[in-house]
């Protein structure tokens, strides 16, 4: 007879990479973890893991068994958790896929604040710009910029994130501050994305409604937001970033916004999750928490006319959050 506990332990051993790490994650001795996996192998009549003194690897049978069972076990545990935590405190592991851009930004403030509010929930944040299949890869949620890649996902829009054209003070001291978007064609540009084709900026004047589209030849192109931000901070040129997600450099003065009367076309920031009738409490409260924070931030920013004032207010909100339990 299948022992779900043994199967769960086996999957955790593979995920963690060792019996020791799995034992720590599960809160049980290494010897018990090893015994449960051995008992599972005995009941199946097949070796699932190759054990040596230096490494642990799956056999061919073990790999196929893991691939087929991991998702099923995740669904079973999620169903159990959904029932058991309906009235209690959120708990368990919350896995979230986040764009690399957010890895350089302020999302970490919100993750830390959520975890402080719900200490029984453990967060696993995976930053990646590759396409992610939330169901197959066992993610509870994904954070998305712009359109969703999968129409079957259920999404909750948090905000319309304005990209901000910016540059380092050192770069502006060398070449001067541009007065009109057309001046960008004479400046060096750091492009976030692949390919060497021109970077296109579409800006709308906040008062007149005039729309200007400018194409700038990039001097640096990179698909790494971290690398792009590093180049901008070091004075490599101008670029556009989302200050809600990559705003640390604004908050500490390493980057300054340009064209305070002009705005780039915004893109939605969404939380998305697989199409399921029921959600674990840890997911539901995370969605509610992020919507609450986004609405609070939006109320503050909408009342301020300039990007500089918005960034200053944003910094104050973050400092206030960090002082709260």
Per DSSP, the chain holds a count of helices (H) and strands (E) of 11, 15
* Environment class of 150 (CB within 10 Å of its CB; exposed 0-12, middle 13-18, buried 19+): middle
Res. 317: pLDDT tops 80: no
Is the CB of residue 231 less than 8 Å from the CB of residue 192? no
Q: Across all residues in the chain, what is the average pLDDT? A: 81
**Residue 98's pLDDT is what?**
87
Scanning the structure block, which residue is given the tokens 């996902």?
Answer: 153
The whole-model pTM stands at 0.56
Res. 123: pLDDT tops 80: yes
**Residue 300's pLDDT is what?**
67
- Of all residues in the chain, what percent carry a pLDDT higher than 90? 28
Is the CB of residue 318 less than 8 Å from the CB of residue 250? no
């Amino acid at each position: 007879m299948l022992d779900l506990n043994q199967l769960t332990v086996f999957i955790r051993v593979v995920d963690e990479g060792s019996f020791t790490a799995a034992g720590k994650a599960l809160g049980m001795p290494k010897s018990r973890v090893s015994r449960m996996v051995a008992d599972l192998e005995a009941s199946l009549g097949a070796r699932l893991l190759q054990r040596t003194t230096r490494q642990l690897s799956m056999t061919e049978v073990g790999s196929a068994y893991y691939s087929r069972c991991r998702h099923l076990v995740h669904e079973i545990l999620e169903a159990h958790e959904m029932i058991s935590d309906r009235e209690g405190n959120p708990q368990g592991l919350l896995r979230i896929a986040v764009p690399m851009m957010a890895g350089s930004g302020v999302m970490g403030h919100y993750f830390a604040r959520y975890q402080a509010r719900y200490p029984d929930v453990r967060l696993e944040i995976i930053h990646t710009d590759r396409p992610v299949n939330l169901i197959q890869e066992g993610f509870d949620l994904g954070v998305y910029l712009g359109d969703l890649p999968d129409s079957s996902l259920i999404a909750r829009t948090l905000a319309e994130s304005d990209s901000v054209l910016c540059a380092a003070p050192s770069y502006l001291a060398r070449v001067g501050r541009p007065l009109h978007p057309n001046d960008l064609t004479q400046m060096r540009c750091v492009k976030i994305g692949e390919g060497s084709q021109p970077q296109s900026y579409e800006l709308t004047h906040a008062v007149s409604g005039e729309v200007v589209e400018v194409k700038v030849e990039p001097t640096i192109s990179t698909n790494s937001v971290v690398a792009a931000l590093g180049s901008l901070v070091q004075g490599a040129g101008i670029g556009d970033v989302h200050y809600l997600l990559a705003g640390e450099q604004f908050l500490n003065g390493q980057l300054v916004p340009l064209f305070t009367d002009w705005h780039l076309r915004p893109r939605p920031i969404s939380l998305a999750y697989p199409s399921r009738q029921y959600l674990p409490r840890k997911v539901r409260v995370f969605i509610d928490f992020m919507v609450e924070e986004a609405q609070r931030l939006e109320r503050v920013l909408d009342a301020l006319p300039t990007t500089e004032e918005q960034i200053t207010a944003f910094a104050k909100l973050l400092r206030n959050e960090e002082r709260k339990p």
